[in-house]
Amino acid sequence: MTRIHPTALVDPAAELDDSVQVGAYTIIGPQVRIGAGTVIGPHCVIEGRTTIGRDNRFYQFGSIGAMPQDMSHGGEVTELVIGDRNTVREFCTFNTGTFKEQGVTRVGDDNWIMAYVHLAHDVRLGSHTVLANNVTLAGHVHVGDWAVIGGLTGVHQWVHVGAHAMIGFQGHVAQDVAPFMTVDGNPLAVRAVNLTGLKRRGFSDDRQRQIRQMHKLLFRGSLTLEQARSEIEALGTDDPDVRTMLDFLAASTRGLVR
């Protein structure tokens, strides 16, 4: 049976699995759907057309599914979709999307999202990411699987952060961050391959060697971006890590952090 604190206000039209827990003074709106095993802490507001999957944990004082903070938004009904097994700590704010993209802000699975994180409209957050305290993702930011973003980092709108990338503390991210790279400093720059993360995820020595070669071609030589892209293609487009890099470069519109 759903365990709803007597002080919580859950709209009768909301769809909550029988195993969902809702804390004291939380408010849940009529267009919200929440899957099995999810726990919503006290003093949260979950509103808008928001779908939350299974086994998530939302701590206290979250604002989830509010309208986008976009002055051009005309009140259209857009969505927030959150996957499974995410941990969302205190004071996080996730907004719904806009029709500048697909009308959806989307969060994947197994993410670790610390306190005061903001996900603006149309953000696409992959799976297995870590967003440390006070990370702010502006509108239309895309973050790949397994990325790690350090505390107090702000990411400019439309920026893409590649899979397995790591951004250091207090980063000011105004250009795209290539997959597998560690970026840090002010101004932000590529420091190395994120070898610690790759090793933790079981990347073989051969895979690491291939990624280090892509790092060298992109950031440590005198090649233009197009020349580096051609050299990376020559490494073998059937290789999944090469494909990840090439697909990212093809979608990049803001230039790369170098």
Please confirm, yes or no, whether 17 is among the known catalytic residues. Answer: no
Long-range contacts of 120-124 (CB under 8 A, 24+ apart): 120/68, 120/69, 120/95, 120/157, 121/68, 121/69, 121/70, 121/73, 121/78, 121/95, 121/96, 121/97, 122/68, 122/97, 122/98
CB atoms under 10 Å from CB of 2, counted, come to 12
The dihedrals phi and psi of 149, each to the nearest 5 degrees, come to -120, 120
Active-site residue, selected from the candidate residues 122, 145, 176, 241: 122
Q: Which of 53, 84, 108, 121 is catalytic?
A: 121
The catalytically annotated residue of 41, 53, 139, 150 is 139
Helix axes 240-251, 225-234, angle to 10 degrees: 160
Whether 121 is a known active-site residue: answer yes
Residues labelled catalytic: 121-122, 139
